[in-house]
Homo-oligomer: A and B are copies of this chain.
Amino acid sequence: MSRQLEITIAGAGLAGSLLASLLADRGHRVRVFERRPDPRRSGFLGGRSINLALSARGLEALEAIGIRDEVMQNAIPMQGRIMHDANSQTSFHPYSANPDEAINSVSRGDLNIRLLDAAASRPNVSLHFQEPVVDVDFASGIAHVQHDHDEDLKHVKSDLIVGADGAYSAVRGAMQSAGGFGFRQQYISHGYKELVIPPQPDGGFALEKNALHIWPRGASMMIALPNADGSFTCTLFWPWEGPGTSFESLEDVEDLVGYFRGIYPDAVDLMPTLEEDYRENPIGHLVMISCERWTCGHSAVLLGDAAHAIVPFFGQGMNAAFQDCIVLDRHLEAADRDVRTAIAAFSAEQKPNGDAISQLSLENFLVMRDKVSSPWFRFRERLAKWLHLVLPRHVQPVYNLVSFSTTPYRDIVEKRARHRRAMQALVTAMLGLGALAIAFLVGTFV
């Protein structure tokens, strides 16, 4: 029988708690340390999280720990985008030619609690709240854990330390200080703010339930995702500053509701607490993290946001983090639980996938806020979907591969590059033939 590893996970968020269950099911002893209080007791703190869109990669991981069906019972499938234009006209654009393929709106707080319950139900998992990993000694494999409000540190030695502690990861901070760790954090010029569309007086949804709603406005946009209680969580993605719609230009506006009415005329009347929500909710930064490699020393590894925080425009942050968990678990088994070999192979495989989904997510911002309102873009999207129906194995739109398959992100980007080169060659050939045909005709008739 393979040896049992002592594993320390920093962070009991989505990735950390899922990974704890996965590794516990292999027989390892897992300790999870989390900075925040237990959300199962204190309630989940909202207002800072963009709604989650659960898709194929996430579902595969939930299936692996046996809670897929339970989570899906509370999810709301979104079969496509509903676009709201400046004249309050709406149009529906399905994500897939196959109506069974949908992304699923889930509540971050609810999902996190289910993941924690799953981890806590495994006898070989222990969860420690308000005890963050604050530093790591990579040479000795010791994590330094702080007790709540206590200055003394607990020293936890283990065979494997996993930094699943998010975009501002303390484990990564320790790697950055250790020397030789290439790292980048970038911010886009847009911030985000959450607003709300409450349920109708009769409890029903104020907008079509099974869709992701978008108000694309060129440089900025608003989106809305359905919640199980009949409300929608709206998110503004606006530039921090600039002369057009921006958080800065709203600062001097007296009539906030009037300003919104000019941009989102069909949404304003559905938002009775708009002014209050706008004033009270913070503006969040959108950060992208990139690390040259995801390991430090021979027993510490990063995954999820800690390794590759991405912008939220493809709804893939959680899905990518869950896929990291599945791949790390697979490498540990493949290397017969040799941690050094497993984490090196994991980093080599997943780092290019992290880069790829980071790039795709940033590109999708352009699609959502601008291109979806272009007839030419929509024609090409329809064409791709139709070709996919006719030649399902040869034409697979990028959106489908990202959301409805578990194909590694890097393969999708490479496939797209090959596809684009082939299309260019085809167009060039067609134009050449066309020119020849015209020359022939001209030659015949003149």
Contacts and interface: CB of A to CB of B under 8 A. Distances in A.
Interface in A325-379: none
A203 interface: no
Contacts of A251: none
B184 A180 contact: no
B180 A186 contact: no
Interface string A169-189: 000000011011111111100
A184 B292 CA distance: 11
Interface residues of A, number: 16
Contact of A183 (B168, B181, B184): B184
Contacts of A187: 179-182, 292
Contact of A186 (B168, B179, B182): B182
A362 to B, nearest CB: 14
A185 B177 contact: no
A284 to B, nearest CB: 8
Contacts of A185: 176, 181-184
Interface in A172-216: 176-177, 179-187
A169 to B, nearest CB: 11
A151 interface: yes
Contact of A151 (B151, B186, B292): B151
Nearest to A185: B183
A285 B182 CA distance: 11
A412 to B, nearest CB: 26
Nearest to A191: B180
Nearest to A186: B182
Nearest to A189: B180
Contacts of A287: 179
Contacts of A151: 151
Nearest to A285: B179
A311 B186 CA distance: 22
Nearest to A167: B179
A426 to B, nearest CB: 36
B181 A184 contact: no
Contact of A180 (B180, B181, B285): B285
A67 to B, nearest CB: 33
Which among A179, A285, A287 has the highest number of chain B CB atoms within 10 Å? Answer: A179
Contacts of A285: 179-180
Contacts of A186: 182, 292
Contacts of A176: 185
Contacts of A179: 187, 285, 287
Nearest to A176: B185
Contacts of A183: 184-185
A177 B168 CA distance: 7
A295 to B, nearest CB: 15
Interface string A260-286: 000000000000000000000000010
Contacts of A182: 185-187
Nearest to A183: B185
Contacts of A181: 185, 187
A179 B240 CA distance: 13
Interface string A212-235: 000000000000000000000000
A179 B285 CA distance: 7
A117 to B, nearest CB: 32
A65 B182 CA distance: 37
Interface string A85-112: 0000000000000000000000000000
Interface in A289-303: 292
A134 to B, nearest CB: 13
A177 B169 CA distance: 10
A169 B251 CA distance: 34
Given A176-B185, A179-B187, A181-B187, 5 more contacts: A168-B177, A180-B187, A183-B185, A186-B292, A187-B292
List the 9 shortest-distance A-B pairs measured between CB atoms, nearest first: A184-B184, A179-B285, A180-B285, A182-B186, A180-B187, A183-B185, A182-B187, A151-B151, A182-B185
14 contacts: A176-B185, A179-B187, A179-B285, A179-B287, A180-B187, A180-B285, A181-B187, A182-B185, A182-B186, A182-B187, A183-B184, A184-B184, A186-B292, A187-B292
